[in-house]
Homo-oligomer: A and B are copies of this chain.
Amino acid sequence: MPVAAAQRARRRSKRGTYAKSSETRERIFAAALAVAGKEGIHRASVAAIAKKAGVAIGNLHYHFGSRDELLDELMRWLVSGLLTEVRAAVDACDDFFSKDEAALRAYLAYVHRNPACTRLAEEVRLHHPKLYAETTAMWLAMFRDEIREGVVRGELRAMGEDEVAALAYFLLGARYFVDQMIEGAGGRDYPGDDVAVAAYVDLTRRGLSHTEARTR
C-alpha cells in the first residue's frame, strides 16, 4: 500500500497535526478489524464497518478511498504484525533452539492477545494472494536463515539446501493450527503454553524416536 500511505502522508502533512481525523481513521480501522474478525473479510461490508465505527459511510471512503484500500491496509497490518513480533523474539536469542522456542512463544503470545488475527491472516491468501505469497516468502526465508546459521554454528546436523527449504515449509506449517489448539473445543483441551512448547521443542530437537539416532 505504498500509494495509499503516501497519499495519507501527503494529506496530513498539508495541515500539520490533525488529531481528530486520525482518531476517526483509527476507529474505522479498528471497526474494520472487528467486523472482519467476526464475519470474515469478504463479508465485512462498508455499511457494517461504518456502523460499528459510528461514522457515515462516505467518511470511510474519505479516509481510505475505497473498501478495497481499507481492507488492503488491514491485511498488510495483519500479516506484518505477527511476523515483526516473532522476528524480534528470534533476534534476541543466540542459538537455534533458543530462537526456535522463542519464536513459538512469541507466536503463542500473539495468538493469546489477538485470537482472530491468525485466522484473518489466512484469509489474506484468498483476497490478496500476492501479499500472502510475499509474506510467506519472508517467513520461509527467516526459517531457512535460522536453519542455515544453526548448521554453521554446529548446532544442527549438516543438510543440503533442498532439505533446508523443505524443512522451512514444515516448520512454518507446524504453527498453523496453534490457534485452534488454543481455542478448539472451547479451549478445554489446551494443555497450556509450556506443554505445547515442550512438545514442539522435543519434536524439533530430538525427534519422536526414543532410539538412538542411527547414521543414515
Contacts and interface: CB of A to CB of B under 8 A. Distances in A.
A142 interface: no
22 contacts: A40-B126, A42-B126, A133-B180, A136-B177, A156-B210, A157-B210, A162-B191, A166-B181, A166-B195, A166-B199, A169-B177, A169-B180, A176-B176, A203-B207, A204-B207, A205-B213, A206-B207, A206-B214, A209-B213, A210-B213, A210-B215, A212-B213
Interface of A: 40, 42, 96, 119, 122-123, 125-126, 133, 136-137, 147, 150, 155-159, 162-163, 165-167, 169-178, 180-181, 184, 189, 191, 195-196, 198-200, 202-216
A211 to B, nearest CB: 7
A61 to B, nearest CB: 12
B181 A169 contact: yes
A210 B96 CA distance: 13
A41 B119 CA distance: 17
A165 to B, nearest CB: 6
A133 to B, nearest CB: 7
